[in-house]
Amino acid sequence: MQIGIIDRANGEREVSARARHLIGGALVPAAGGASFAVINPATGKELGRAALGTAADVDLAVQTAAAAQSGWAQRSSRERGRLVAEAGRRVLAEQEPLARLLAQETGKAIRTECRPEIATAADILAFYGGLGSELKGETLPYHPRMLSLTTREPLGVVGAILPWNVPLVLMMLKIAPALVAGNTVVVKSAEEAPFATLEAGRLMAEILPPGTLNIVSGYGPECGQPLVEHPRVAKITFTGSQPVGETIYAAAARKIIPVSLELGGKSPMIVLPDADLPRAVAGAVAGMRFTRQGQSCTAASRIYVHQSLYEPFLSALAAAVQSLRIGDPLDEATDVGTVVSPEQKRRIDDYVAIGRATPGARAIACGSTPAEDGLDPTLFAVPMIFAGLPEESPLMRDEIFGPVVCVTPWTDYETVIAAANDSDFGLAATVWTNDLAKALDATSRLDAGYVQVNQNLTIQPNLSYGGFGKSGLGKEASLEAMLEHFTRKKTIVFAMA
Ligand code: NAD
């Protein structure tokens, strides 16, 4: 019997109402048998029901992961890597149904967002799959009659807590290095988007030994918190909001376990007077992740444009954003789908209202909500450009996590660098110039963990990624991330006779 959450029995790839966790390689219902509704944001209708996880489910998943850990760690690191890479190929082979599922639960457009997300998720598994041999130690010169060396060991069971915005990429950034390093994993999926995570995990579980990868679904306090607090969880890796990150950090401190936190951002983009204007405008559209309704931690949401380019930049940006087609996430012609939930939409609307009411500010609405049959227009946010907001505006300071960008003119270089750095966050930043000396100066002075010149890429395998300040702790996406955050280093000394 096909037990996947994508139902092939009737020849159609529709989501069926299967509320399951993935534990020990099998899809199992919640201990209490309860489930919760997952809503398709584009239609407003129920997409399916997910298992409502509680402490009992988390305990079962963690005990299962703990039981599988030593056997997994006993395999050679290259063998673990080989299986992780093979799991990546399995996920990529199901790119289309996974992308459809992701589009339906998140509201993100399938062509611009969901298919690329599955490809990147598989790429991350391929990348880490090749790093098994890199779990090396060192020999330490100390004394001619002693052999001193270090080894890298797995931590044990890793708890991975996910947000909804790019759940598959973020899941793979956590589980791939954890697994290759010899840990086993319990993932807590995002309550808004649990299905593609579960289905990808189920596909991977066809290849990985039972119990190495487990996935539970549920709400933060009832399901995420017991995972953080579970005595057998040796490490938490979390991506999400800053307030929840603080709670998790405090809970981990009580257990004295390591945490990695990838939190929010308010990333500046600085356009210098010599910048290539069309390239900078295209970079702003890509960097603001308008095709994802701006729901990105690295969204270039504060754009500082030199006064000499300001008006042409604004008009070109408005035209470019206006040309994006907002519509049904499953339609190939759609560039931009919906935001994820009514809460998220309300939050965006509140910021837009503040921006519109700010004296002296200009608000440019770029597009309109679709009027297609079968779509609920409620969650289709219209992208907004605000010009001339004061630095202290909440739109300039808070992470909105929606399609709202602030564009501000500047004339003095020192002032714009100071403004860019005047944020509690420090996730990403970009500089747009063809002057190498200026680019070097700006990149060295910007307080952000991921700084790019003349481009605005998202997370890429092999480029160490992680924020400064309240944007978080630790790195992801690199060899360094695997070694530093998913292993512990042991020093061993042999005294010779
Ligand atoms: P969120 O913090 O509300 O939830 C994230 C996850 O934490 C969910 O799975 C949730 O159930 C869980 N959770 C909530 N309370 C918990 C608790 N007390 N204990 C344990 N787990 C708990 O975030 P979200 O709304 O899902 O995602 C949006 C946020 O994620 C934004 O702030 C965004 O910047 C951030 N984000 C950061 C990055 C990055 O790489 N830095 C990437 C994507 C998203």
240 in contact with ligand 1, CB cutoff 6 A: yes
Ligand 1, atom 31, lies closest to the CA of: 241
Mean pLDDT for 185-204 is 98
Confidence (pLDDT) at 1: 28
Mean pLDDT for 343-365 is 98
Confidence (pLDDT) at 13: 42
Please enumerate in sequence order all residues whose Cβ is within 8 A of that of 457, keeping only pairs 6 or more positions apart, or say none.
Answer: none
481 in contact with ligand 1, CB cutoff 6 A: no
Q: Which of the four pLDDT bands, split at 50, 70 and 90, describes residue 16?
A: very low
Ligand 1, atom 3, lies closest to the CA of: 241
Does residue 265 contact residue 427 with C-beta atoms inside 8 Å? yes
Residue 190 pLDDT > 70, yes or no? yes
163 in contact with ligand 1, CB cutoff 6 A: yes
- Could you tell which of 215, 297, 340 is best to mutate to test the pocket of ligand 1, judged by most ligand atoms within 8 Å of the CB? 297
- The 10 Å CB-count burial string (b at 16+, else e) for 299-337 is bbbbbbbbeebbeebbebbbebbeebebbbbbbeebbbb
Q: Percentage of the chain surpassing pLDDT 90?
A: 95
472 in contact with ligand 1, CB cutoff 6 A: yes
Ordered by where they begin, the domains of the chain are 5-263+472-491 (3.40.605.10), 268-461 (3.40.309.10)
Confidence (pLDDT) at 5: 52
Helix axes 195-205, 95-106, angle to 10 degrees: 160
117 in contact with ligand 1, CB cutoff 6 A: no
Strand segments (E) across 97-216? 146-154, 157-161, 184-188, 213-216
One-letter amino acid at 118 equals: I
Does residue 22 contact residue 215 with C-beta atoms inside 8 Å? yes
Residues in a beta bridge with 373: none
Tell how far the Cα of 239 is from the centroid of ligand 1, in angstroms. Answer: 5
Mind giving me the DSSP string for 389-421? Answer: --TTSHHHHS---SSEEEEEEE--HHHHHHHHH
Does residue 348 contact residue 402 with C-beta atoms inside 8 Å? yes
197 in contact with ligand 1, CB cutoff 6 A: no
Torsion of CA 320, 325, 331, 332, to 10 degrees: -30
Ligand 1, atom 40, lies closest to the CA of: 262
Mean pLDDT for 25-52 is 96
Question: Which structure tokens are listed for 340?
Answer: 């994820």
Q: Which of the four pLDDT bands, split at 50, 70 and 90, describes residue 2?
A: very low
Q: Which residues are catalytic?
A: 262, 297
Tell how far the Cα of 197 is from the centroid of ligand 1, in angstroms. Answer: 15
Mean pLDDT for 106-122 is 98
One-letter amino acid at 426 equals: G
Confidence (pLDDT) at 425: 98
Round the average pLDDT of the chain to a whole number and report it. Answer: 95
In whole angstroms, what is the distance from residue 129 CA to residue 462 CA?
12
Confidence (pLDDT) at 7: 46
According to DSSP, the β-strands at 450-453 and 26-28 are: unpaired
Confidence (pLDDT) at 3: 36
pTM exceeds 0.85, yes or no: yes
